[in-house]
């Protein structure tokens, strides 16, 4: 059964997940914003999404662009969890997963590392 949780509480969990990321990694984030949305785009089955140019793909011509976006989706996350503790864990995993994409780490590599 899906967990019910306010958007405010969910946003707090995203913030808490970010607080658990080592400061050394947070200091390396460049031109990225982290957002919470209720639902992914129509037809998409996602808990989170990274949109932008990974740090490893940025070259000398990377300038004047809008920030990369990491979006964490509330309703799909709540839909797969049975308890608030599961939501906390899933949010943390999703945040790490999407941050990893910002650093150029692929889904395949994340899977190898056990972050699926």
**The pLDDT of residue 107 is above 80:** no
**The pLDDT of residue 109 is above 90:** no
Rounded percentage of the chain residues whose pLDDT exceeds 90: 62
More confident residue, 24 or 77: 77
Domains within the chain, CATH numbers bracketed = 7-57+64-112 (3.30.2010.20)
**What local confidence, expressed as pLDDT, does residue 116 receive?**
61
Structure tokens, 68: 């990369």
pTM above 0.85, yes or no: yes
- CA dist 35 and 54 (Å) reads 17
Residues 6 or more apart whose CB falls under 8 angstroms from that of 47 comprise 72, 73, 76, 77, 80, 90, 94
Q: What is the pLDDT of residues 51-83, one digit of tens each?
A: 998 878 888 888 888 899 999 999 999 999 999
Structural element, H or E, at residue 77: helix 74-79
């Amino acid at each position: 059964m899906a967990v019910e949780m306010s958007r405010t509480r969910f946003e707090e969990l995203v913030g808490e997940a970010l607080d658990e990321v080592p400061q050394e990694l947070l200091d390396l984030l460049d031109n990225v914003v982290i957002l919470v949305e209720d639902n992914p785009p129509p037809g998409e089955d996602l808990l989170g999404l990274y949109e932008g140019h990974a740090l490893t793909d940025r070259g000398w011509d990377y300038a004047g662009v809008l920030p990369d976006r990491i979006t964490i989706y509330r309703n799909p996350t709540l839909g797969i969890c049975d308890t608030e503790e599961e939501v906390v864990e899933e949010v943390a995993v999703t945040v790490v997963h999407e941050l990893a994409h910002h650093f150029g780490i692929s889904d395949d590599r994340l899977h190898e590392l056990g972050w699926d």
